[in-house]
Structure 1
């Protein structure tokens, strides 16, 4: 019997919607959040439920297609080209068990959804800085954010995962049911199975404070010096991100973003050394509601075209880091130093594939890419970051910080990568499931 290859066959089985090139809604459905990434997909399935996910994977396997799953497309890289794009945005349910401190979250949910459900109970998920990001993609790639210095990676707080495997079979994996796949999914991205739901551990936070301080760019060297001093002795409850920002049409500035698991008075005390740097043009440190964490950095919520690159750093005392931070960053919009350490460097025995993040800092560069000439200039500048940081950049980074074109090998040591690649060959020999950063290739 010949395997079905027409998407008409698939459309008849779906509760959701199948879109093909030429359909009115196809272009929009195929476009990820990052508008700089153009996805040339063969079809889009907007799944209504987990059954639609399973039907799509079974069809793709039988027809020799590949499936790429995306909720928001924040992490899109272009690897979805030639696939059936599986949009999971409608799988956005969130249920919080206050007593168990657990959230059951659909693959289409965003962190704003989780925080809205958890915050009234004094609980938080381990989100990043932008609550509009999808929970599944962020968590599968490791998940590094404001709470990581205390609680570690979001991936290591996953209790169980509902998946559709590469054969199209729905199942639940956890530490006892397929521990190898459970380990791999927590940190290696979505290249081994399509996730339909996750069960996440939540953390109690009695008090939380945060905010920002802004200085003119000419103070960058002084602010960086204090940043080194404060982060060297900071308790793990305090997370500091320092940004050099040059927005079009605005003065160049240096911005300190702070998040503290505790009361605002203690946060201000810990940040008092920064008061020695004059000319602060804004200073806002105060209590922050757990469902308003996104306000600390006020990341964009609307789709945008941008290019980025990240490097884990072995320290920030080098002349290379100082030169980067005290020099103009154009054509980039921003260079940002994030203080890591704490629980990130101490994963427990149940940690996922990413393991320990022992580097104490991360440098993140971002530039707008809304037209080809600017995109090229931004890309060239980002590519030079590694050269500029020679001897300081460790050469690896979490999956969620891999840029388009970077391979999964950059996230793992050789034994871990080999184990992940063996799993991919064994579980998905046809390559039916394709993540943003494929494990093979």
Structure 2
């Protein structure tokens, strides 16, 4: 029976989608990767997840775990294996409004979370797209629209319900299973399958949302001024910058989000951005947070955005780093470069507090290239940027290997992550080739 499904466990009756099922076409892939798994299992409980893990062990099928399906590495699907798709587990409950504690199942998408929490005046800084799944962000880091005010998603996780690779169900918090809680907050993919998270949300109603476009000078001085503004900015302001080139001109498309519905607070936070250079256009308004991660984002994932992506963290926007970023955008083949502001609340926790150890860097740089020559194009574009970086974020890496592991989990953090992966997953069920 090795390598084939055989007889399904009774718990999975009606929950396994085979290639001849009409649903298979829309369930087999992630956003970036087309998969051809032997089956996609849609569990509805921790018991179902344990049954799927048992089935994989008995059949020898390789496992892929998926929450939202945006995962850039494509690890949310495979060819010939078993995909555990958590999308049926998407409950969002407010456990205690006074302490802002909410429970979010791992298969929910962030648009669903925002919609569920909005009537309570609550929000969680998460991904920047409503289709992104909770599980991937909440086990990797979580750099969202509110990041400088709220911090990372993992910083506010108080407990995680986990099915370990051997099928055991565990609730990890600071008192019970603190090591498991630590590794699930930043490196959870190699330790267990998250069922649900207890997360401390923040009070939030409206937010300021501004969009600006600035022309980039060849030396990158505009980028340096953006970084200087963000270094002095109030925590309420978070920004994302996309560099796009056409011919010899590179423009920076800046999205600014202010965690306030006060026009004066928004104006004071955004106004310094107008002085970074030649700002061509601007628009600002007060919107509900749900507008930033709306439900219409929740499309099916069919491998529609094939790409190769890598990333690095910058502590300082030096002249050389800024010049390298502007130069990398247009040549020799265009790539997509995105910058996310960090600092603020992301610097509050100690580096050892979670498996996400990067607590002094100020900018996340993400570079993506697209077919037909995406890997070669990405390698050429990234090479002059890499030497300026100090660490990396695991969720924006298409080709994880030992080198990218060391960047994401440096020094003692990497040692502890590897030790805990081996403790909780000694047979490498979730990560067939863990770092040596």
TM-score by length of 2: 0.87
Q: Is the Cα contact below 8 Å between 2:226 and 2:276 reproduced in 1? A: no
Distance 1:4 1:327 in 2: 48
Q: Which moved more, 1:344-353 or 1:191-200?
A: 344-353
- Structure 2 equivalent of residue 430 of structure 1: 427
Structure 2 CA distance for partners of 1:312 and 1:93, relative to 1, 3 Å: same
- Structure 1 equivalent of residue 395 of structure 2: 400
Q: Is the Cα contact below 8 Å between 1:21 and 1:43 reproduced in 2? A: yes
- Structure 2 equivalent of residue 411 of structure 1: 408
Distance 1:348 1:314 in 2: 16
- The counterpart of 1:91, out of the listed 86, 89, 92, is 89
Q: Is the Cα contact below 8 Å between 1:15 and 1:49 reproduced in 2? A: no
Distance 2:212 2:349 in 1: 32
For residue 30 of structure 1, report the CA deviation from its aligned partner: 1.5
Partner secondary structure for residue 118 of structure 2: helix
**Equivalence map 1:181-330=2 (5 Å):** 181-205=180-204, 207-216=206-215, 221=220, 223-246=222-245, 253-262=251-260, 263-276=262-275, 280-294=279-293, 303=301, 304-305=304-305, 306-325=307-326, 328-329=329-330
Q: Is the Cα contact below 8 Å between 2:216 and 2:222 reproduced in 1? A: no
**Equivalence map 1:19-418=2 (5 Å):** 19-34=17-32, 37-79=33-75, 80-81=77-78, 82-97=80-95, 98-205=97-204, 207-216=206-215, 221=220, 223-246=222-245, 253-262=251-260, 263-276=262-275, 280-294=279-293, 303=301, 304-305=304-305, 306-325=307-326, 328-329=329-330, 331-347=333-349, 351-369=353-371, 373=372, 376=373, 378-394=374-390, 396-406=391-401, 407-418=404-415
Distance 2:359 2:297 in 1: 24
Partner secondary structure for residue 190 of structure 2: coil
Structure 2 CA distance for partners of 1:4 and 1:55, relative to 1, 3 Å: farther
Q: Is the Cα contact below 8 Å between 1:208 and 1:264 reproduced in 2? A: no
Instruction: State the Cα deviation string for residues 141-193 of structure 1 (Å, max 9, x = none).
Output: 01112222223221121121111111112232211221111111110032211
For residue 10 of structure 1, report the CA deviation from its aligned partner: 2.1
Structure 2 CA distance for partners of 1:323 and 1:391, relative to 1, 3 Å: closer
Distance 1:156 1:228 in 2: 24
Q: Is the Cα contact below 8 Å between 1:17 and 1:46 reproduced in 2? A: yes
- Structure 2 equivalent of residue 421 of structure 1: 418
Distance 1:56 1:418 in 2: 30
Q: Is the Cα contact below 8 Å between 1:332 and 1:366 reproduced in 2? A: no
Q: Is the Cα contact below 8 Å between 1:15 and 1:52 reproduced in 2? A: no
Q: Is the Cα contact below 8 Å between 1:144 and 1:153 reproduced in 2? A: yes
Q: Is the Cα contact below 8 Å between 2:124 and 2:202 reproduced in 1? A: yes
Segments of structure 1 that go 5 or more residues without pairing to the other structure are none
Partner secondary structure for residue 293 of structure 2: helix
Instruction: State the Cα deviation string for residues 392-441 of structure 1 (Å, max 9, x = none).
Output: 111x2122122224443331123222222222222222222249xx6436
Partner secondary structure for residue 321 of structure 1: helix
Task: Give the total of aligned pairs.
Answer: 424
Distance 1:134 1:99 in 2: 26
Structure 2 CA distance for partners of 1:332 and 1:176, relative to 1, 3 Å: farther
Segments of structure 2 that go 5 or more residues without pairing to the other structure are none
Distance 2:357 2:220 in 1: 34
Distance 1:76 1:252 in 2: 25
Distance 1:204 1:142 in 2: 21
Q: Is the Cα contact below 8 Å between 1:165 and 1:194 reproduced in 2? A: yes
Partner secondary structure for residue 75 of structure 1: coil
Q: Which moved more, 1:343-352 or 1:179-188?
A: 343-352
Q: Is the Cα contact below 8 Å between 2:342 and 2:364 reproduced in 1? A: yes
Q: Is the Cα contact below 8 Å between 1:47 and 1:88 reproduced in 2? A: yes
Instruction: State the Cα deviation string for residues 300-328 of structure 1 (Å, max 9, x = none).
Output: 96643133221111211223422432665
Distance 1:421 1:414 in 2: 11
Alignment RMSD, CA only? 3.0
Distance 1:327 1:65 in 2: 41
Structure 2 CA distance for partners of 1:432 and 1:236, relative to 1, 3 Å: same
Distance 2:229 2:115 in 1: 32
For residue 115 of structure 1, report the CA deviation from its aligned partner: 0.8
